[in-house]
Amino acid sequence: MLDDIDLQIIRCLRENARMQWKQIGEIVHMSGVAVAKRIQRLEELGVIERYTVEVNERKLGNRFCAFITVVMKDWQHTKFQQFIRTREEIREAHRISGEPCFILKVEVPDQDSLSELLDRILDYGHYKINVSIGRYK
């Protein structure tokens, strides 16, 4: 399945998805072509699903980061999941075990936007919210 070199390549790409194959090759002691073949295999296996960027939300005007746990009021999980997909401000959504059913990470520009989202969530269940006061990793 995956060996130590594959894991090193994944670590490099997690740190910088735009890192050149040659740079990765220097780290894992392989040629750039060999690294490219490894990466292609990892993509084909579904280990690497996509490449993305990390955005500074504050510079985009999103001043509030909040984590919302949602307890469903009935069994409308599928409808709620569809709702989640339509809301751009919901950056991550996880179905979790335990008391809450979902945990959402949201990024919004202001309290009014957050309030509007929370009002819509009430259609599906009740929530608890925690607002981030700092990001450390």
Assess whether 38 and 69 both reside in one domain: no
Average confidence (pLDDT) over 45-67: 88
Average confidence (pLDDT) over 28-41: 96
In a domain, 73, yes or no: yes
> In this structure, what CATH number is given to the domain that contains residue 81?
3.30.70.920
Does residue 62 have a pLDDT over 80? no
- In whole angstroms, what is the distance from residue 11 CA to residue 113 CA? 36
Secondary structure percentages of the chain, helix, strand, coil, to 5: 40, 20, 35
pLDDT at 120: 97
**Tens of pLDDT along 95-134?**
999 889 999 999 999 999 999 999 999 999 999 999 999 8
Assess whether 101 and 66 both reside in one domain: yes
In a domain, 72, yes or no: yes
Domain around 39: 4-44
3-state DSSP assignment of residue 65? strand
